Chain A
């Protein structure tokens, strides 16, 4: 039975090949689009993975540190199969000396042969740059990049100036940090452009955009940066992540972590201090704990510089004062404890030299002056009053020169006159006796105060101790104790706490390649209408094919075939057709996927920012697409065949059409009218809600729009099914057109389906267009997306001086008169992943910026949502950043609403865990979302929390700038002036409006993509409409022939049919456009969207044209046969 049914099905399929080819094309189009969309998702993911892994070369893990460590560490990290390579990684801006062209955000790699051997790549002859940097600098003229050539091709001997931050162990925002010379310029001669295949785009952090990289000889970079034999990164490969991390941890010494451990000069104590001069609070605690394990209590030491010590009219300039346990300095110092003196001053213990110079005696009031550095006010002088306590000889602990940390420019100087500190010094104040003291005692402190007082005066975010000392237990050898303490410290101190961490870069890159956006999902949505239209076409043609042979089916039924066997026969044919269509569709999917990828590389590059996206074919996606399309087609066929089963054999023999609906059904018309009216009321209510509450706009869009659309379609259905009250009478074209319009009621269900398809597509296209955004305005309001700022700037080197203060401007050498009226809002930056839609990778550690306090108070930008509870928070949600943080609780952050939703896939209130290399992941809570802003790429945190969490991040590197400019040209000009003035910092300024437009461009590109594919679906829908018309006309050929017989010429019959098509097209477009307009009116009136663009008008006009043309073609085809054939009863 099955075999014969199969044969019969195959024979039937072959006989009705014309309609079956149409069915095949419909199914294959659906499969192609569905499979293609899934392939796009795979391709984007695959391409991102290829880019990221390709750029990593052989590296699996990377040990990196904020500070520099021994390059020999690379060799010390040992594990079976492990290979390593040390290098320096830094960012810089590069100037091409001959042309003056500049490029910012360049990753500089200081590498030697170990790097190239590690990757198995032939090393370049000298300084090499990436193709993108070459293009930026204009030195790629004669170079074909990315050709995989292994040869070294010198391209130029041009000189490039590479400006990067000078490494400093001492924080530049501390008193002893150098603020004036924070950068170094390397003058290098360019050798060649390194193609991608030779690791020209080497990168440890995934990014899909072109990479500006520069590879310089390691030794040269080390020499110029003053970090001989040191690096800040080690690449690892060949072992598992955990093994690599273990091996790295085992190889790291305390010195690699920036700690120093040594015995005191008198070998009674072991000193632990930091290369940067300060021990941070957590580190100090870890060191204390390690000492305690050995039964040794710690002695904290905090040595600071006093500009002046004064008793009456006598002064001693530039003295080091140590804050420590005074009992350790002088057992009698407790006699002058705080509060015991007449004026309740803290005691200060002087050495006898100082007491002599000041003519001070115990109980005398003493004043000290010292500098403090403040991010806002810069260097300020402070005064503190003490009471002179015991006078002690320069001996023992008081004579220990190691109480002062090594401050470059101070402690190593041969004389006071040779001091070169990073703050103003009046050498005229230095006397012969001071020089003599320096000669005799160097940095030996001249006075001592209590440790608590020292912390109170001088503690910064970098810490409150310069060293910790451990008393060596009696009878224990100093070196043995030091070795024990070293062991304890190495196990107690987590390298991550000191900014040294091993990142599994390959795994992270692979994970990030999943992407912020599932393109497969997006393109499946985008292609929805094409799939539906294609399936509709397949169904239409399949039903047409079935209807063509109703008599044949009737004969089978009459011959004894059951309904089930007839349905089986047709299903066999349908499944066969769908399967063949699916196979053809797979080829189509490859073509469609390729087309979309081509689109992403070209037309829609604004959304992806890379030309490196290629088609990645995955069998599962192809199979999924094919299966999806085939199953959908089979389900539709199955449903449509149920109608055949309802026909009696007699009806089949009479070739009665399937699914015949009686025209004019008042009951159904009434029911549909009621539904239509109810839906219409709902639409109006949603519209009203959209006007009343901005928060309800999204709901108004979906609810109101959908309700309006449903209302329109049900009203259309009701109208088509109702009995018209007017009679079609009269003469001429108008009357014929009315008759044509009435013909739409011939098959009301089919007509509404056609109109609904067009309406839905038109709805999507029009409403999506309303969400297009234009760029920001130069002089926009403070609540706009630019926050009212004129410029946005970043700097490669941090700014520690305040450019809003006269002293800061002077220090930064800002002199251009145009900049006098500018006001900088400074942000601290922890570099990380771009959280904006410009980044395709999933951000795991987004860039965090922290504005200075004034920004929060200014309350700029507009919030779309927040966790505000109090009136003050509601009035200015930025204050949410200042909410107190509980111990271990999440840190409040604010993000741009678009980034939050589409890139981070989170909402306000959510917690985001971020690995910052600490003991545990940093938990951030989104407390607010800013509406459509220029701050899309970053998360914003309060400065207080930032400096606590990221003390190693120095200065400010992100700026929003107010300026009295009203035109884009003026703003652009000002940006140029700013870049020129702050060129040594690698300043890169753009107008805020331009930046906002860049973000909008991406969003608009996505919308264009959606519209293009929606338009394609709509176009296919109009072809579907034509198919409906063609089918209707075929079904009614006899009636039309009768009309011809009674005097209708071809023109009149065409008019009639076109009137029907026009009605459906017009009703569909009208309902779709109107519903979309209703839905987006709230958004428009609130100013967040913009009116329809010319592209949209052209798209819709194209659809109308296509609809009319395809209807004309369908009409001609249907009327093309001999009229008599339809009329003959014989």
Chain B
């Protein structure tokens, strides 16, 4: 379960403090999916990074399955992200020098040893890539993929560690409508199949429409849309 309790975020600037979020609270159970919308600069991405243990809140707490990642040291925090959180970014950010399969495997390389071995990781990566429709693209380099395929590969990478929480930052914004639609389908299908908590930050009303829960970041608060 993801619990956000009275989270606030203030950035210090040369002209003084700049509040972005103020007292945001939200709870999501496993299997739930939510879309967060808002205009540019509203703080929705900030909220996403706070949830992803990438940007600590100025106040308030975030817990995932009772663990507050911000109470962990840098190393444990990284391990927490590796084990519990999956990210999909607007820009796929795949490693150009690695194949699709290797890109998907990158999070497993720093996973604690002993849980699984490399062979199992690879099998699982192939399986996920099959699920995302890239079974025939395993050896391809990112430069040889289309935009939609790249995003699928990025989704596969986000899921390789079976995360509890899957966070997507504008995942379809750079894609054509039809491809964006298929990527959205994929996200929702995999979310359902893996019983993850899925949170998507998007400008796209069309994408948001497909989520059972929708929130809006407005006036530094999170409200239902």
Q: Hey, which bits of chain A sit against chain B, CB under 8 A?
A: 662-664, 723, 727-732, 735-736, 739, 742-743, 745-746, 1038-1039, 1041-1052, 1123-1124, 1127-1130
Contact = CB atoms under 8 A, between A and B. Distances in A.
A1041 B55 CA distance: 13
B185 interface: no
B78 A1049 contact: yes
A1047 B97 contact: no
Given A663-B141, A1124-B49, A1130-B41, A1046 B96 contact: no
B193 interface: no
Contact of A735 (B49, B55, B109, B141): B109
Contacts of B117: 730-731
B190 interface: no
B54 interface: yes
A745 B141 CA distance: 12
Contacts of B32: none
Contacts of B75: 1049, 1051
A1047 B111 contact: yes
B97 A664 contact: yes
Contacts of B29: none
A1130 B45 contact: yes
Given A732-B113, A1046-B82, A746 B74 contact: no
Given A728-B102, A728-B105, A728-B109, A1128 B45 contact: yes
A732 to B, nearest CB: 5
Contact of B110 (A731, A742, A1038, A1127): A731
B52 to A, nearest CB: 7
10 contacts: A662-B143, A663-B97, A664-B141, A729-B108, A729-B119, A1041-B93, A1044-B78, A1045-B81, A1049-B74, A1127-B89
A730 B109 contact: yes
B122 A1050 contact: no
A743 B109 contact: no
B159 to A, nearest CB: 11
Interface string B76-112: 0111111100110111011111110110011111111
Contacts of B149: none
A1038 B173 CA distance: 18
A1044 B121 CA distance: 19
Interface of B: 40-41, 45, 49, 52, 54-55, 74-75, 77-83, 86-87, 89-91, 93-99, 101-102, 105-113, 116-119, 121-122, 139, 141, 143, 157-158, 161, 169-170, 173
Contacts of A664: 97, 141
A1046 B157 contact: yes
Nearest to A739: B109
A1130 B116 CA distance: 37
A1047 to B, nearest CB: 2
A1047 B82 contact: yes
Most buried by A among B80, B97, B139, B169: B97
B121 to A, nearest CB: 6
B139 A1052 contact: no
Contact of B118 (A735, A1123, A1127): A735
A382 B108 CA distance: 107
A1046 B98 contact: no
B54 A1045 contact: yes
Given A731-B121, A1049-B77, 17 more contacts: A663-B141, A664-B97, A729-B109, A731-B108, A731-B117, A736-B109, A739-B95, A742-B102, A746-B96, A1038-B93, A1039-B93, A1044-B54, A1045-B87, A1048-B110, A1049-B78, A1124-B55, A1130-B41
A663 B49 contact: no
A723 B121 CA distance: 21
Contacts of B77: 1049
Contacts of B173: 1129
Contact of B54 (A732, A746, A1048, A1124): A1124
Most buried by A among B54, B74, B78, B111: B78
Contacts of A1046: 81-82, 86-87, 106-107, 157-158, 161
A1128 B122 CA distance: 30
B118 A1039 contact: no
B83 A1047 contact: yes
Given A729-B118, A729-B121, A1047 B95 contact: no
A650 B78 CA distance: 36
Most buried by A among B86, B93, B118, B170: B93
Given A731-B117, A1046-B81, A1046-B82, A745 B54 contact: no
A735 B82 CA distance: 15
Nearest to A1127: B89
Contact of A662 (B81, B121, B141, B158): B141
A1051 B80 CA distance: 15
Nearest to B81: A1047
A1127 B105 contact: no
A745 B96 CA distance: 9
A1123 B173 CA distance: 22
Nearest to A731: B113
A1011 to B, nearest CB: 36
A1123 B83 CA distance: 19
9 closest residue pairs by CB, A with B? A1047-B82, A730-B118, A1049-B78, A1129-B90, A735-B109, A1042-B93, A729-B118, A1046-B107, A663-B97
A359 B129 CA distance: 136
B118 A1129 contact: no
Contact of A739 (B83, B98, B111, B158): B98
A1014 to B, nearest CB: 32
Contacts of B143: 662-663
Nearest to B114: A731
Contacts of B106: 739, 1043, 1046
Contacts of A732: 109, 113
B45 A729 contact: no
A746 B97 CA distance: 5
Contact of B97 (A743, A1038, A1043, A1052): A743
A1129 B170 CA distance: 8
Contact of A727 (B81, B82, B101): B101
A739 B78 CA distance: 18
A728 B81 contact: no
B122 A729 contact: yes
A141 to B, nearest CB: 69
Contacts of B96: 662-663, 746
B137 to A, nearest CB: 13
B40 A1129 contact: no
A1050 B139 CA distance: 28
Contacts of A1049: 74-75, 77-79, 110
B89 A1129 contact: yes
Contact of B105 (A729, A1039, A1042): A729
Contacts of B80: 1047
Given A1045-B52, A1047-B110, A727 B105 contact: yes
Contacts of A1043: 106
A1044 B111 CA distance: 13
A742 B98 contact: yes
A729 B139 CA distance: 14
Given A1038-B91, A1045-B81, A742 B97 contact: yes
Contacts of A739: 95, 98, 102, 106, 109
A723 to B, nearest CB: 7
A730 B102 CA distance: 11
Contacts of B52: 1045
A729 B170 CA distance: 29
Contacts of B102: 727-729, 739, 742
B95 A1039 contact: yes
Contacts of A663: 96-97, 141, 143
Contacts of B109: 728-732, 735-736, 739
A873 B49 CA distance: 88
Contacts of B74: 1049-1050
B149 to A, nearest CB: 16
Contacts of B83: 1047
